[in-house]
Each structure stands twice: as C-alpha cells, then as structure tokens.
Amino acid sequence: MSDPSDSLPCFPRALMDNYPPGADWVDWQESRAYGATTNFATWYVRALRRFAALHAEFAGSFGDAAKAENYTLTANAVTESVRTKLWLPGPANVSNWERDGAHFATNARHDHDCGESVMDDGWWVDDQLWAVVNGVATAEQSTTIKGWLANRTANYEGMPTRWSSKGPAADHGRYGETWFGRLGLGDVLMRYNNFSQPEFGLTLLRRIASAFAASGNIDESYHMDGSVGGDQGTDYLEHCGGFVWAMIDGPFGVSFDSDAEAAATIEPQLGSWPAASAHVVVRGVNVSITGAKGQAATLKAVASTEASSGQKVTLRLVQHGKAELVTVASP
C-alpha cells in the first residue's frame, strides 16, 4: 500500500507479521522489516522508471504510452518524497561520529498501520548507496554520501561495504560485516556510474575477489579484514549475481536499460586493467566486448545457440565522451 499524498510504498506491520522479517526483502533488521523504508523506495523508483521506459519504447506495439506517463509521474513523486521526507541534515560538531553528517533516514513510516512516523536508526549504508545508484539522491546528497564514506573508508570499505554505523568504528561484529550483493555491489556501481572513479571501483572489486579466493567460496558475509563473517552460508547466489553485475556494469559499463535507439548502452571504464574481455547476451545476440589499457573497446557478435544467423541488435557505445550507435549481427 502507499499514501497518495507522497506515493511512498509501505508494508503494514499486520501484513508482515504473517511472514518472517525480511520477507519483503527490505531487511532482517526490525527497524527496516516493515513500513516505508528508504532502501525499498529507491528500488521502487528504479522499477517504475524501467517500466515507464519499456512502455514508451514499445508504445507502437505492446507498450502503453499512458502507462509510461503514469509510472513516470509516480516515480517522480516517490523520488521527491525520499529527497525531502527522508533526508536528514546532520547536526554539526556531534561527538557521535557515526551520525555526524546528513544521510537518509531509515523508515518514513515505522508504525503498525503505516501512519506518519519517520524513524532514524543510524547510517544504514545500503540506504545511502542505492539512493545514489538508483537515481533518487540529488547531486548534493550524493556528494555528501560519497564524502562521508571517504572519511571512514578504512572501517567501511576494507571489504565492500560495511552494513551499518551501529556498533564501534572498528566493529568486528554483525554491524561491521558486509553482504556483498546488497552493499558492496552498490558501492562499486556508484564509483563507476555516478562518480567516474574506475580505479577505486576496481580496487573494491579486487578486495572482495581476494576474500572469495581466500575462503574458497562465495560466502554469505565477510568482515572488513576479509575473514568470513557470522552468516556462513556458502555458494551465496545473491553475491554471485552481485559480483557478475558489478563486473559487467562496472568496468565493462554495460547497462541493459534500453530506449528507442539502442537495446543497451556500453561505456567501458577499464582504467589500469591491462586487457579484458566479456560476453553479454543482448536480446538474444551474444556480444563480445574487448578492451585494453589505453585502447578503444571493440564490440562484435559471436556465434550463439540462442540467436539465429543474421539476428541483429543495436547498441550504444560510449567512449571518451562520444556516443555512437553500433549494430552487430550474429554470424
């Protein structure tokens, strides 16, 4: 349900009591298990904008231009509500360093019946990261979030990226751990896609990759020193998928958000990586992306059992600030 005055989605406690905390995949933390949470709102906006774009792209066939407009209006309303209702200007000169700075509050309606009840439960890092990545935070809010992390990188990005400001600065307990697919992934994408920091993005990727290699698995959680955390699930698919997403959308710069011109946009940022290649499937066509340090990336279609010979897809390739449309066809 949502409040028509601000369009923020809200899960009533009565509904969530029928399921374990986290059933809506907001969080396992009680303060974020129901209500109108910042993290859920940012993903709601992302979904609405994608629905709108697809309806607009295919308005001449199965899409609906009216729905595209409605989804956009709702996304705009939710975005404005998050920016204004949930953004807290941090008080200056506060001795509690964890909360010294502006940030997004935890929950707009931490109330049993979704009534107005804004709650601030500390600096939940995924709230901040995904507000930036999902295009909800303003430029000023995004810069503030980046600066807050920069001042605490040793305790928050030893492994990408610590969960919460709750607990001591060098916390080795639960609040000081990372669950990569919901935390580190957002940090990596923010570095590549919002702040043009490919070298730091690659550093974060190498840190988590080294932890995976050291543990011999993709474990559920990790401490900032790279040791396995308290949640010891293995072959954790959320983080497997998150690492793939971070690699493809990070250094290889592949966004599958299509529009009327292109089925995907590819903007590689390989930085100091000597040479690299990746394969992605875009609407049935297997596309190879190859790049090397100091050289332009190249795209080509390669043989695939998923596409018939001659099947084409148009991509937008962005390099050195210039965009061009490239059409590739399966051999």
What is the pLDDT confidence band of residue 182, given thresholds at 50, 70 and 90?
very high
Could you report the per-residue pLDDT of 199-213, keeping only the tens digit for each? Answer: 999 999 999 999 999
Distances (CA, A) of 234 to 198, 231, 239, 324: 29, 9, 10, 42
Question: Of 87, 91, 109, 110, which is closest to residue 100 (Cα–Cα)?
Answer: 91
Pair 269, 141 in one domain: no
Could you report the per-residue pLDDT of 44-76, keeping only the tens digit for each? Answer: 999 999 999 999 999 999 999 999 999 999 999
Among 94, 127, 151, residue at a domain's last position: 151
| SS3 category, 196 | coil
Name the token pair of 25: 């995949």
Mean pLDDT, the chain, whole residue set: 90
Residue 274 covered by a domain: yes
In sequence order, which ranges of the chain are alpha helices (DSSP H)?
Answer: 13-16, 38-57, 65-81, 125-133, 139-150, 153-156, 184-193, 198-215, 237-249
Residue 20 predicted with pLDDT over 80: no
| Residue 277 main-chain phi, psi, to 5 deg | -150, 155
Q: Which residue has the tokens 């309606």?
A: 109
Among 106, 135, 151, residue at a domain's last position: 151
Residue 236 covered by a domain: no
Amino acid occupying residue 259: D
pLDDT of residue 114: 85
Average pLDDT over every residue of 250-278? 95
pLDDT of residue 93: 47
Of 24-33, 126-135, 296-305, highest mean pLDDT:
126-135
Residue 142 covered by a domain: yes
When mean pLDDT is compared across 89-103, 106-120, 177-191, 288-302, the lowest value belongs to 89-103
Name the token pair of 219: 């474990």
Q: Distance between CA atoms of 13 and 107, rounded to whole angstroms?
A: 13
Q: Distance between CA atoms of 256 and 26, rounded to whole angstroms?
A: 24
Give Cα 282 to chain centroid, integer Å. Answer: 20
Tally of structural domains, the chain:
2
Residue 23 predicted with pLDDT over 60: no
274 vs 52: which has the higher pLDDT: 52
pLDDT of residue 4: 63
Average pLDDT over every residue of 73-89? 95
Question: Of 19, 156, 8, which is closest to residue 82 (Cα–Cα)?
Answer: 8
pLDDT of residue 170: 80
Q: Distance between CA atoms of 13 and 30, rounded to whole angstroms?
A: 11
Among 151, 169, 196, residue at a domain's last position: 151
Residue 173 covered by a domain: no
331: which residues sit within 8 A by CB, 6+ positions away?
301, 302, 303, 309
Average pLDDT over every residue of 100-108? 88
Residue 167 covered by a domain: no
Residue 278 predicted with pLDDT over 90: yes
Give the domain CATH number at 295: 2.60.420.10
For 130, the domain range is 1-151
Residue 96 covered by a domain: yes
Pair 1, 147 in one domain: yes
| SS3 category, 88 | strand
Share of the chain above pLDDT 90, in %: 69
Q: Distance between CA atoms of 199 and 251, rounded to whole angstroms?
A: 9
Q: Distance between CA atoms of 229 and 236, rounded to whole angstroms?
A: 13
